[in-house]
């Protein structure tokens, strides 16, 4: 039986105030992330022993090997499980500013400038239809790339085709912002830049 557990938040629920409110963080973590955790365990429970003790990233990278009858559920809940773990670590109290080092150079090379990168990330994330995520990823040639992904589909599912590694993810599901920002997704995205943990992004880029 798969036994994934809800990862701890690396800070208190109110740590990202006023940009992301404590109530949203608490519900997002204890209800939504918990639901993806439970859903992943349930979906994997239908499969044989070879799927029970795998790392979730390995499962997502090899999503094409998951039997078809549960592939959709594993894609959704496994993606949600891993996306949120990345998301919590992509943020910190007193974050924001600009990256430095290798990831900053890669962003400049791919997008022209940090400001141009921000515009692209922000515009396309706000433009996601329905629910999904915006991602800064590292591509096969070691460069920076922006992608959006629908629903909870993880960038890791594009590993075999494109060798994409997720670096920085932004959850634009309404549950990530609705309590504080209601329908104003753009205001949430604008505020979110103030909590981005660029040290974590730099570490993920180097790894
Ligand atoms: Mn979410």
Rounded-to-integer distance, Cα 128 and Cα 125, Å:
5
Distance 45 CA to ligand 1 centre (A): 23
**pLDDT value at 2 more than 80:** no
Q: CA 202: distance to chain centroid? A: 15
How much distance in Å is there from the Cα of 32 to the middle of ligand 1?
A: 6
- Ligand 1 centroid to residue 186 C-alpha, Å: 16
Nearest by Cα to 145 from 183, 104, 110, 184: 110
Position 121 scores a pLDDT of 98
pLDDT tens-digit profile of 153-177? 999 999 999 999 999 999 999 999 9
Residues ≥6 apart with Cβ < 8 Å to 114? 98, 99, 104, 107, 108
Of all residues in the chain, what percent carry a pLDDT higher than 90? 94
Those residues with Cβ within 8 angstroms of residue 50's Cβ, 6 or more apart along the chain or in another chain:
none
Distance CA 118, CA 136 (A): 10
pLDDT the model gives residue 1? 64
The alpha carbon of 109 and the centre of ligand 1 are apart by a number of angstroms equal to 30
Distance 175 CA to ligand 1 centre (A): 6
Question: What average pLDDT score do residues 72-82 get?
Answer: 98
Q: Got the DSSP string for 67-123?
A: -HHHHHHHHHHHHHHHHHHHHHHTB-TT--S---HHHHHHHHHHHSSHHHHHHHHHH
Distance (Å) from CA 69 to ligand 1 centroid? 25
Q: What distance in angstroms lies between residue 76's CA and the mean position of ligand 1's atoms?
A: 12
Name residues whose C-beta falls within 8 Å of residue 112's C-beta, 6 or more positions apart in sequence. Answer: none
Distance 156 CA to ligand 1 centre (A): 17
Residues in a beta bridge with 133: 149, 171
Ligand 1 center to 12 CA (angstroms): 17
- In angstroms, what is the span from residue 127 Cα to ligand 1's centroid? 17
For 87-98, what is each residue's pLDDT tens digit? 999 999 999 999
Paired sense of beta strands 132-138 and 144-150, if any? antiparallel
Tell me: pLDDT of 50 over 90. no
pTM, full prediction: 0.96
Please work out, in degrees rounded to the nearest 5, the angle formed at the alpha carbon of residue 152 by the alpha carbons of 125 and 121.
15
**Cα(112) to centroid of ligand 1, in Å?**
30
Task: Give me ligand 1 centre to Cα 57, in Å.
Answer: 18
Q: Contact 32/175 with Cβ under 8 angstroms? A: yes
Distance 133 CA to ligand 1 centre (A): 9
CA distance 26 to 33: 10
What is the whole-number distance in angstroms between the Cα of residue 122 and the centre of ligand 1? 17
d(CA 174, CA 193): 17
Map out the domains of the chain with their CATH numbers: 22-89 (1.10.287.990), 101-206 (3.55.40.20)
């Amino acid at each position: 039986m798969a036994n994934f557990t809800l990862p701890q938040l690396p800070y208190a629920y109110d740590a990202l105030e006023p940009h992301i409110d404590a109530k949203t963080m608490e519900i997002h973590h204890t209800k939504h992330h918990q639901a993806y955790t439970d859903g992943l365990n349930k979906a994997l429970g239908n499969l044989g022993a070879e799927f029970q003790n795998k790392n979730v990233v390995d499962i997502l990278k090899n999503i094409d090997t998951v039997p078809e009858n549960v592939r959709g559920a594993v894609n959704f809940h496994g993606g949600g499980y891993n996306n949120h773990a990345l998301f919590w670590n992509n943020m910190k109290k007193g974050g924001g500013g600009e990256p430095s080092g290798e990831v900053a150079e890669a962003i400049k090379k791919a997008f022209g400038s940090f400001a141009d990168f921000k515009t692209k990330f922000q515009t396309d994330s706000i433009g996601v239809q329905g629910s999904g995520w915006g991602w800064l990823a590292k591509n096969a040639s070691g460069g920076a790339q922006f992608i959006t992904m629908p629903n909870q589909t993880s960038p890791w599912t594009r590993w075999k085709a494109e060798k994409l590694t997720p670096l920085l993810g932004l959850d634009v599901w309404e549950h990530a912002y609705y309590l504080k920002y209601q329908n104003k997704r753009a205001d949430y995205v604008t505020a979110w830049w103030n909590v981005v943990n660029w040290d974590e992004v730099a570490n993920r880029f180097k790894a």
